[in-house]
């Protein structure tokens, strides 16, 4: 049974996902990656989104570092890294949200996520090349966004009198994600302190008595009775679950692993649509109408995160509950998202599981969630089979 999954994920990753992006996303003239790709790879916009540029650099470099050093993945990563280093940052060092094909800036967000994926790109390039300048840039930008996080006014978003002081789940998540990457290369003692701080903040979003992870809680960690406060995003909660499970595994913290496994398990249960299958994008904890128009859609990335998280939960705990859920998620995802004709996965389905968007990539979907989850799943399964 396990063997089958390993074969399937290898095939999805190496035969169906990676070739799609190698073939269609590389801009061989200006560098960087196209991501607005229709079903068969046809370009429908040549704008470049920095979240997705950084993520693709990271992903190609990761493949080089952990799968095969003899393929040209490092070159595909490097041409993206060159592009974002040349065009990605403004005079204050902030990273743009989007630039045009040649690299002229279009939009900058008052958020830190473009920076997050830029840092991921730099760390994995540092690992791939040993070139210290990548790690230097990653470190410098990490401290810059840690400062923004502590002083959000510096991003230009005014804090008005009626704003409810809160943390968003994405904040501790991205810092934990970056720390996993940075601590691999740099033993700066401050990282351990921030890792602890962010773990504590992340866990404030989880309410074990209700089995729910809230997207936004007050800065004291309390649930807020507002649409923002009641908001759930099961895919996000599951992704946080596996971040914490890996962290617990790294630090030999069995209690954190058990909590993380519960987060994955309960978030999957709460997010699953018993009528049509798949994970809802958003829910309201009190069953009030979510404000997001797309709340009932089924997106690819909660599915990819769940597949890996449930496999990881199973491998770490050996508990059967993860196996059944993994198999259910796997079956639904492969049937509904995977495109038999052109490879890669569709990104957006309606509640019933019908494809609403033919695109394989866009402003938010690139070479990241699917290949990362497939690679990590392959690694879990290889680990298990080597133990047998």
CB 253 within 8 A of CB 202: no
Candidate list 219, 291, 383, 385; residue touching a copy of itself; CB under 8 A: 291
Three-point CA angle 329, 338, 45, nearest 5°: 125
C-alpha separations of 58 from 64, 118, 166 in Å: 10, 9, 30
Q: Shortest approach of a copy of itself to residue 32 CB, angstroms? A: 13
Query: By CB under 8 A, is residue 250 in contact with a copy of itself?
Result: no
Q: Shortest approach of a copy of itself to residue 355 CB, angstroms? A: 10
Q: Shortest approach of a copy of itself to residue 225 CB, angstroms? A: 9
Of 149 and 346, CB closest to a copy of itself: 346
Task: Summarize the chain as % helix, strand, coil (round to 5).
Answer: 55, 10, 35
Query: By CB under 8 A, is residue 163 in contact with a copy of itself?
Result: yes
Task: Return the range that interacts with a copy of itself (CB under 8 A); candidates 160-168, 181-189, 305-313, 319-327.
Answer: 160-168
Task: Return the range that interacts with a copy of itself (CB under 8 A); candidates 25-33, 104-112, 119-127, 318-326.
Answer: 104-112
Q: Shortest approach of a copy of itself to residue 218 CB, angstroms? A: 14
Distance, in Å, from the CA atom of 139 to the CA atom of 319, rounded to the nearest integer, reads: 39
Query: By CB under 8 A, is residue 45 in contact with a copy of itself?
Result: yes
Residue 280, helix vs strand vs coil: coil
Task: Return the range that interacts with a copy of itself (CB under 8 A); candidates 6-14, 18-26, 103-111, 247-255.
Answer: 103-111
Candidate list 17, 297, 309, 380; residue touching a copy of itself; CB under 8 A: 297
Query: By CB under 8 A, is residue 96 in contact with a copy of itself?
Result: yes
Query: By CB under 8 A, is residue 105 in contact with a copy of itself?
Result: yes
Q: How many residues bind a copy of itself (CB under 8 A)?
A: 43
Distance, in Å, from the CA atom of 332 to the CA atom of 303, rounded to the nearest integer, reads: 9
Binding to a copy of itself (CB under 8 A) within 114-143 occurs at none
Candidate list 1, 91, 132, 161; residue touching a copy of itself; CB under 8 A: 161
Task: Return the range that interacts with a copy of itself (CB under 8 A); candidates 3-11, 100-108, 213-221, 307-315.
Answer: 100-108
Distance, in Å, from the CA atom of 36 to the CA atom of 202, rounded to the nearest integer, reads: 33
| Residue 268: CA count within 13 A, CB half-sphere | 29
Residue 235, helix vs strand vs coil: helix
Candidate list 99, 201, 245, 312; residue touching a copy of itself; CB under 8 A: 99
Query: By CB under 8 A, is residue 86 in contact with a copy of itself?
Result: no
Query: By CB under 8 A, is residue 251 in contact with a copy of itself?
Result: no
Distance, in Å, from the CA atom of 212 to the CA atom of 203, rounded to the nearest integer, reads: 11
Distance, in Å, from the CA atom of 122 to the CA atom of 59, rounded to the nearest integer, reads: 11
Of 326 and 360, CB closest to a copy of itself: 360
Cβ-count burial 133-172 (b if 16+ within 10 Å, e if not):
ebbebbbebbebbeebbeeeeeeeeeeeeeeeebbbbbbb
Candidate list 153, 162, 189, 252; residue touching a copy of itself; CB under 8 A: 162
Candidate list 68, 86, 93, 106; residue touching a copy of itself; CB under 8 A: 106
Enter the tokens of residue 155: 């991003």
Determine how many CB atoms are found less than 10 A away from the CB of residue 218. Answer: 15
Determine how many CB atoms are found less than 10 A away from the CB of residue 224. Answer: 16
C-alpha separations of 29 from 71, 101, 103, 324 in Å: 21, 9, 12, 47
Determine how many CB atoms are found less than 10 A away from the CB of residue 175. Answer: 26
DSSP string of 155-178, one letter each residue: GT----TTPPPEEETHHHHHHHHH
Q: Shortest approach of a copy of itself to residue 141 CB, angstroms? A: 20
Task: Return the range that interacts with a copy of itself (CB under 8 A); candidates 99-107, 136-144, 194-202, 238-246.
Answer: 99-107
Q: Shortest approach of a copy of itself to residue 360 CB, angstroms? A: 9
| Interface ranges with a copy of itself (CB under 8 A) | 36, 38, 44-45, 47, 96, 98-100, 102-108, 156, 158, 160-164, 226-227, 288-291, 293-297, 348, 350-351, 356-359, 362-363
């Amino acid at each position: 049974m396990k063997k089958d999954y390993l074969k399937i994920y290898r095939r999805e990753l190496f035969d169906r996902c990676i070739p799609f992006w190698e073939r269609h996303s590389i801009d061989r003239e200006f560098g960087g990656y196209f991501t607005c790709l229709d079903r068969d790879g046809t370009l429908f916009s040549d704008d470049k989104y920095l979240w997705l540029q950084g993520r693709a650099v990271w992903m190609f470099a990761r493949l080089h570092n952990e799968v095969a050093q003899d393929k040209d993945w490092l070159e595909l990563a490097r041409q993206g890294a060159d592009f974002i280093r040349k065009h990605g940052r403004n005079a204050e060092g902030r990273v743009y949200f989007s630039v045009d094909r040649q690299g002229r800036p279009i939009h900058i967000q008052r958020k830190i996520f473009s920076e997050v994926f830029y840092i991921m790109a730099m760390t994995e390039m540092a690992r791939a090349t040993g070139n210290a300048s990548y790690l230097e840039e990653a470190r410098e930008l990490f401290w810059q966004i840690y400062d923004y996080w502590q002083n959000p006014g510096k991003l230009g978003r005014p804090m008005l009198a009626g704003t409810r002081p809160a943390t968003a789940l994405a904040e501790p998540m991205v810092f934990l994600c970056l720390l996993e990457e940075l601590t691999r290369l740099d033993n700066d003692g401050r990282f351990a302190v921030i890792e602890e701080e962010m773990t504590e903040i992340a866990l404030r979003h989880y309410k074990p008595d209700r089995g729910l992870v809230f997207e936004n809680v007050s800065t004291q960690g309390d649930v807020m009775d507002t649409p923002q406060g009641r908001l759930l995003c099961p895919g996000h909660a599951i992704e946080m679950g596996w971040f914490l499970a890996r962290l617990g595994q790294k630090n030999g913290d069995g209690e954190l692993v058990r909590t993380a496994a519960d987060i994955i398990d309960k978030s999957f249960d709460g997010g699953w649509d018993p009528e049509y299958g798949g994970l809802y994008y958003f829910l309201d904890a009190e069953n009030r109408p979510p404000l997001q128009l797309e709340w009932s859609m089924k997106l690819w990335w909660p599915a990819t995160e769940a597949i890996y998280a449930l496999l990881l939960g199973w491998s770490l705990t050996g508990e059967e509950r993860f196996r059944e859920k993994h198999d259910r998620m796997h079956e639904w995802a492969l049937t509904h998202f995977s495109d038999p004709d052109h490879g890669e996965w569709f990104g957006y389905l309606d509640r019933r599981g019908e494809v609403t968007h033919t695109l394989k990539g866009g402003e938010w979907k690139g070479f990241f969630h699917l290949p990362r989850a497939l690679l990590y799943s392959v690694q879990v399964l290889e680990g298990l089979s080597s133990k047998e």
